[in-house]
Amino acid sequence: MRTLITNGLVVTAAGSYPADVLVDGETIALLGSDLPGAGITADETIDATGKYVVPGGIDVHTHMELPFGGTVAKDTFQTGSKAAAHGGTTTILDFAAQTKGRSLREGLDAWRAKAEGHTAIDYGFHMMMTDVNDATLAEMDRLIAEGVPEFKLFTAYPGVNFSPDDHIFRAMQRTRENGGLVMMHAENGLVIDVIAADLVAAGITGPIGHGLARYAILEGEATNRVIRLAEAAGVPVYIVHLTSRDALEAVTAARGRGAMAFAETCPQYLFLSLDDLENGFEGAKYVCSPPLRPKDHQVDLWRGLRTDTLQLVATDHCPFDFHGQKELGRDDFRKIPNGLPAVEDRVDLLHDGGVVKGRITRERWVEIMSTAPARMFGMYPKKGAIAIGSDADILVYDPNRRRTISAATHHMDVDYSIFEGFEVQGTSDVVMSRGTVLVRDGAWVGPANHGRFLRRDVTDFARIS
Ligand code: URP
Ligand code: ZN
Ligand code: ZN
């Protein structure tokens, strides 16, 4: 099957230029001006006049079917990946989880079984590592050989995922030998639990307690600490879901002294705030960790994205229904499952809030939602590029079309939207994955099990600025 995309503006991280794009099979075969005039034919032609032609979105932080707090994140690989595609994301990297006391292998096998044959877009895995011991350290090497090169550890969630500093350091030392990457959830979970208990004892049991207990300074402290541990081990480190000025300052300082510290933020921290946790138990819809921050942190995060202190935006998609799941914490905010639905809205929110609102260029938009994720996670230039030989993961993107985000129309399997009523400018007319159109004008037209496992290589972070 050959598809010709004509008359569009190709937007890449490096620049924008008018070009026709020929897709042959699963990859991009040719780029040039007036390809039909040059005699190039195809089975289908898509007229992209007035549209952008951009690489499909890559979301490197999702949690499909993740068990958390006595329940399970609602989106399956099937529902979540279709929702992602509807929103212009053609690749996800999800977190396989180690069960405490069991092997990494078992965790990865379980996640591969959940995803295989049930995922609409290409997918890969990072590994959430709970136990650090001789056996799991040796397993890290084997997982890397199988295309799973990143390991997420936590300074949060004591008793569940929490790792003490010496364990984090040992995992980092191992990545110095095997070339893997440690990703860190950086909040001081031990201190947060003390403050949370104090709040509950003082009668603050509603969702706002979640935001009040998890001080930004405790994210800043943990971020600085894990970066220092990585410097001591002589390895790069990647901070997931960075939310606050305090944490950003730690990353800025580290990068200033030449440390290989990298970080992502998420749409919820760019567009929502602590105020959203205030509305009685409705605030439970916005409970995630680290929590939403006071609104004035947003300007710092946008600055971080402009200056490349933050390299990319991922979603941390981890949806729980309000009814029946978030309600588990009706009497105590500590029991509200942590996580938000966002995988469907990232690309359009960043276009509207970033490009349309003048905070970033359209090239930077492509970079933070696709190209940088591909570069940092071993997928470039197969993914994240409009280039000859790259996978034809392509969005024909209308930068002027408007839509209103709503749970009534979204495709995520969750009973509310954190962005309900947001009107965004810009959305995908066509979403193509490896040459197959999955979504056209908002309707699903592709196979539901199109996705393939991505076996990824380690990244040479010395090459990433
Ligand atoms: O609230 C969150 N972020 N839930 C998902 C698990 C995690 O820590 O990423
Ligand atoms: Zn986390
Ligand atoms: Zn997460």
Q: Domain boundaries in the chain?
A: 2-54+389-402+423-444, 57-380
pLDDT > 70: percent of the chain = 100
Q: Which fold has domain 57-380?
A: TIM Barrel (3.20.20)
SS3 430: strand
pTM score, two decimals? 0.98
DSSP letter (8 states) at residue 435: T
- Going by alpha carbons, the residue nearest to atom 7 of ligand 1 is 289
For ligand 1, is residue 289 a contact (CB within 6 Å)? yes
d(CA 315, CA 80): 12
**Per-residue model confidence as pLDDT tens digits over 429-440:** 999 999 999 999
d(CA 227, CA 24): 44
Atom of ligand 1 at shortest distance to CA of 185?
Answer: 8
- Going by alpha carbons, the residue nearest to atom 2 of ligand 1 is 339
pLDDT(465) > 90: no
**pLDDT range class, residue 26, cuts 50, 70, 90:** very high
For ligand 1, is residue 287 a contact (CB within 6 Å)? no
Q: What pLDDT is stored for residue 78 in this prediction?
A: 98
The rounded mean pLDDT for the chain is 98
For ligand 1, is residue 237 a contact (CB within 6 Å)? no
For ligand 1, is residue 316 a contact (CB within 6 Å)? yes
Q: Which fold has domain 2-54+389-402+423-444?
A: Urease, subunit C; domain 1 (2.30.40)
**Residues contacting 37, CB < 8 A, separation 6+:** none
Domains 2-54+389-402+423-444 and 57-380 share a fold: no
**Per-residue model confidence as pLDDT tens digits over 230-272:** 999 999 999 999 999 999 999 999 999 999 999 999 999 999 9
Whether the Cβ atoms of residue 189 and residue 175 lie closer than 8 Å to each other: no
